[in-house]
Chain A
Amino acid sequence: MSTHQATFVRASMIEASAPPVAEGGIVHWLRENLFATPKDTVLTIIGALALAWLLPPAIQWLFLDAAWTGGGRGVCATVAQGGSQPEGWSGACWAFVNAKLDQFVYGRYPLDERWRPTLVGILFILFLVPMAIPKVPYKGINAILLFAVLPLISLILLPGGWFGLTFVETPLWGGLMVTLILSFVGIAVSLPLGILLALGRRSHMPVIKMLCTAFIELVRGIPLITVLFMASVMLPLFLPQGVTFDKFLRALIGVSLFASAYMAEVVRGGLQAIPKGQYEGADSLGLSFWQKMNLIVLPQALKLVIPGIVNTFIGLFKDTSLVSIIGMFDLLGIVRFNFTDANWASSVTPISGLIFAGFIFWLFCFGMSRYSGFMERVLDTAHKR
């Protein structure tokens, strides 16, 4: 085999030349995405102008001009208002959030006893994180820890009153702690209850079907605030004299029942989407009703409606803020409660507090929606089309 070297054949490859300017790089990107048509150009300019008008003042107000530290309203008020800031100053009052942070988390829980909610919070994170990561084994034990052991520990630790722990009544609870407890219990109750209601609504027994449908449609037709009013005003009427429910517990019942009606409709959507053949297949195997549901139908149906379920969770989390209307101090309630503190009264205090509370709510809700997207991809075991 002879290696013949023709002089007119290159011995080495030439370097690839750069693409034309119009077909690559930043110029191309800009052209494609921002200035494709005259209409696009106009829109881009309007958008950029809006950003330029909105963003720098916002950053200035939120960060650069903000009062970060300080012990009282002085740092958040101008000289004319009795503070130390120059005339015409306006900025976020993060010093207020900074000073009240403990209260925003624990409410008016006694200072010496705050290790109790902290411990519960740490346990919650310890149990939740391995539960949320699909690869971590022992999900069964983990679920028991999260949904049985943790509530038991919280029930002992948070109110106290036994094992030498001082009793802390629920009106003293508040802040993020209350928001999280309400949401956790609401989520833990509404999912199973919603599944039961959805199964009831699709039942062949007319009485069960009618009752479940009536409950679901009634609750879905009225605002949560009327449900909370009902729980706080009418529940005492329904009970015999002397039997009283804790206000916190009443709100908990109201929120859970409300969310379970919405959950039921979401789950029903999933149940309807399962082909009839799956039900018939389970029947032909001789499975009982609960075996059929637990092993065949529900695993498929729930997987289908994960986005809907998480949306209901997010809705529930946001709705817990309504308990501040019936006089409880959840995160929003305690932030608003602190507006009345004369030591911090200034014109920028309310908006700073609200932005902080909004950011916390946003963080949780956004996290949940992102996690649901992740779970959807993990559980998507069906054949790809």
Chain B
Amino acid sequence: MAIGVTTTPEKSKPSGSIINDPQVRGIFYQVITLVVLAAFVYWVADNTIENLKRANIASGYDFLNGRAGFDVGQSLIAYTSDSTYQSALVVGLLNTLLVAVCGIFTATIIGFAVGIGRLSHNWLIAKLSLAYVEIFRNIPPLLVIFFWYSGVLAILPQPRESAALPLNMFLNNRGLAFPKPIFGDGSLYTVLAFVLAIVASFLVARYARKKQEATGQRFPVLWTSLGLIIGLPLLTFLATGSPITFDVPIAGKFNLTGGSVIGPEFLSLFLALSFYTAAFIAEIVRAGIRGVSKGQTEAAHALGIRPGLTTRLVVVPQALRIIIPPLTSQYLNLTKNSSLAVAIGYADLVAVGGTILNQTGQSIEIVTIWIVVYLSLSLATSLFMNWFNARMALVER
């Protein structure tokens, strides 16, 4: 019966009102959203202009050329309180980058060690790694920073009772003092030799790969590269007559003299970020290695490949493919968490920006600079990691 129902062509179209046409509705919603947004932006801008006028703040970036008038604890470039706001911000940015790069380096090493430890057949190592991960993952990073800063580093001995470490280093509550290299004439050649050695190692690696693909013979890349990178600068260094000397810190009666000092602010931020992020990296590494199916290892063993080579040639390349995307976001998190520096007075971008903001009241400009810098850092890191990921990704035929 129902088969016999006939519909006229007009009836199959949505009858009557255009209210029920999804396309029309979509356009309607979007127009409404745009109008509301435009009104909101206009309202906010109007209020802001009004407020700025009342507070007598000139908007624009001219203030960047003004004299900063404040000191920063640690700076990679020449900076005094007479420098401009602009150079203060550059100092802050460099400090952010410094702690982020150092933190990423250490966190990766600790994270990989702990992550592999969690998969160990050794019960004790696995449980210790588990305890590490569960403790650090569930504590706020800010608290870890304070723990190092006011809990551990603050109760280190006074400078005159500094704890001596190997390599002429000293540890006290003002930081870690270490020998400062002084670059004499001709030390440039050593640096050049170092760069040259790295380039040469790349070429060797490429040559070795070509050779193996062509003839099947393997070339000892690791040892050649190590020899190049260590040997070449060392030879140049000796040939040019040892131009680099060290300014060694000496424990005086009340204080240390000479050498360079890394402040407790940097140390605590660096240690906290490394330990905190390492817990997350460990879980990523564990998931990555577990993600490589057991058949792969067994097949490699069946082919007679030794366990070490199996790990290097079969498991790790496949695990890295799973590890890299989440690892990228952990690196980004570490970089963003480095902004917690403001809590302990390490002069990073946010801390310096905050000081300038308090001095000049240029809040919109400062916040814009923050956003632009952090967004570009995020973008740069993800671009690099995407490139790396593309190289590592499965080549499907």
Contacts and interface: CB of A to CB of B under 8 A. Distances in A.
A233 interface: yes
B363 A233 contact: yes
Interface residues of A, number: 57
Given A47-B122, A241-B51, A321-B143, A339 B150 contact: yes
A225 B121 contact: no
B29 A366 contact: no
A78 interface: no
B140 A44 contact: no
B138 A361 contact: yes
Given A48-B124, A339-B150, A321 B375 contact: no
Contact of A225 (B34, B350, B357): B350
A230 B120 CA distance: 46
A51 interface: yes
Interface in B309-364: 336-337, 339-340, 342-343, 350, 354, 357, 363-364
Contact of A239 (B37, B47, B138, B363): B47
A91 B135 CA distance: 21
Contacts of A70: none
A229 interface: yes
A33 B121 contact: yes
Contacts of A240: 47, 50
A17 B371 CA distance: 73
A336 B154 CA distance: 14
Interface stretch (A6-14, A147-155, A346-354): A346-354
B155 A351 contact: yes
B354 A229 contact: yes
Contact of B47 (A50, A229, A237): A237
B158 to A, nearest CB: 12
B187 interface: no
B325 to A, nearest CB: 12
A362 interface: yes
Contact of B151 (A36, A211, A314, A350): A350
A20 interface: no
A201 to B, nearest CB: 14
Interface stretch (A126-134, A215-223, A246-254): A215-223
Nearest to A222: B374
Contact of A361 (B54, B140, B343): B140
A366 B140 contact: no
A325 B343 contact: yes
A361 B143 contact: yes
Contacts of B337: 223
A364 B143 CA distance: 15
Contacts of B48: 237-238
Contact of A226 (B44, B134, B143, B367): B367
Interface stretch (A110-118, A157-165, A202-210, A297-305): A202-210
Nearest to B29: A205
A311 to B, nearest CB: 9
10 contacts: A34-B123, A44-B124, A229-B357, A229-B370, A237-B48, A241-B54, A314-B138, A355-B151, A361-B139, A366-B138
Interface of A: 33-34, 36, 40, 43-44, 47-48, 50-51, 204-208, 211, 218, 220-226, 229-230, 233-234, 236-241, 314, 318-319, 321-322, 324-325, 332, 336, 339, 347-348, 350-351, 354-355, 357-358, 361-362, 365-366, 369
